Amino acid sequence: MADLNEKALALGKQPSEIRKLFEYGNQRAAEVGRENVFDFSLGNPSIDPPKKVDELVIQLEQTMEPAKLHGYTSGPGEKSVREAMSENVNRRFGRNSTFQNFYITTGAAAGLCIILSTLTADPSDEFVAVAPFFPEYKVFTEAAGAKFVIAEADEKEFQIQFEALEKAFTPHTRGIIINTPNNPSGSVLRPDTVEKLVAFLRNKMKEYGHPIYLISDEPYRELVYDAETRVPFFPNEYEYSIVCYSFSKSLSIPGERIGYLYVPEDIEDSADIFAAVCGAARALGYVCAPAMLQRVAAECADLTSDLNQYRENRDLLYNSLVRMGYSCIHPDGAFYLFVKAPGGNARAFSERAKGENLLLVPSDSFGCKGYLRLAYCVKKEMIERSLPAFERLIREY
């Protein structure tokens, strides 16, 4: 047998629960027809990008010299693109950044891998994630050489359970990963929660005598549906915040893999951290994000897709399932519904749902057992057709 990296081999042979269900759905669609499979597994946007995205792609293809359009940019990204990101953040959030604070990445995942590698200085370093969380955080953290630590979920309000956070922190804690709006729950951290979190982190820094970084994972920043919902911009709240942003969901271009990593200008040792970001990206091979998409993102940074369809889907699915007797977390953002598994065993219910060709992700890998994640970034008609299957399932309980 080949002498291989055992961790890489294990990851390759055991893909994520989400991807396994998605591939199962493709298999079932080939057998029974796509219209008969109700696939809520993958957070793949179902609405079109803003028209300007497609228009820019065509314009760039027609007006730019091909060798320049498709050629390498500088490692951290085209300077004009980084300037556009800086101007966007400065205008929206009252910052004073320059292009030198922005590294253009192949989506938020690359940004997370880069910053975790940047901040991991010793094998004893630990990063905390509050459950429920995106499962790949564990993969990214361990790949960086650090330890991944889970703070148990607040299952009453899906904010932060601070007693659990206290237990998760140690003198080895290097940082915390925050994702709001949250995947998988759809919850958004309230201002009082953010205020309490910032006070907690400052107290821990004083206690431990070293910085604790807040890594804000922001692929869903723009996806909120009610006027009163406010998404915190952490660099304005906490002095050791770093942002990993993606345009995948806001512009409905997930397959294009484009985003940025923002190292705020007022963070201590900002220049050195950014230099380390460049070094980590170099070591990981994350230099020069897709050149054409860099230019598209720069021109479309202020835009979002039409989110009304997600709001309609949320209301239809949430209200329908609650009427049937399911217990659901009301999502204020993102495009996921977190549903308490009837009977308490999420894996067992997910398997039973397959009998109705319903593909629902069990929550075990999200660090919070007993729930199902439903991605409602699908066609409204599919939700409508799936409701009788949900009804039949709940009647069994």
Residue 389 is inside which H or E element, if any?
helix 380-395
Please give the Cα distance from 268 to 247 (Å, whole number).
Answer: 27
Percent of the chain with pLDDT over 70: 99
2-16, 290-304, 312-326: range with lowest mean pLDDT: 2-16
- Over residues 253-280, the mean pLDDT reads 97
For residue 396, the model assigns a pLDDT of 87
What are the backbone dihedrals phi and psi of residue 114, each rounded to the nearest 5 degrees, phi first? Answer: -65, -50
Please give the Cα distance from 20 to 183 (Å, whole number).
Answer: 18
Q: Reply yes or no on whether the pLDDT at 1 is more than 70.
A: no
For residue 13, the model assigns a pLDDT of 80
pTM across the whole model: 0.96
Give the pLDDT band of residue 296 (cuts 50, 70, 90).
very high
pLDDT (tens digit per residue) in 231-260? 999 999 999 999 999 999 999 999 999 999
pLDDT (tens digit per residue) in 23-69? 887 888 888 888 888 999 988 999 999 999 999 999 999 999 999 99
Please give the Cα distance from 165 to 186 (Å, whole number).
Answer: 20
Single-letter amino acid code for the residue at 80: S
101-105, 161-165, 305-309: range with lowest mean pLDDT: 305-309
Q: Reply yes or no on whether the pLDDT at 204 is more than 80.
A: yes
- Tell the residue number behind the tokens 């495009």, with chain if given: 335
Question: Where does residue 292 rank: exposed (0-12), middle (13-18), buried (19+ CB within 10 A)?
Answer: middle
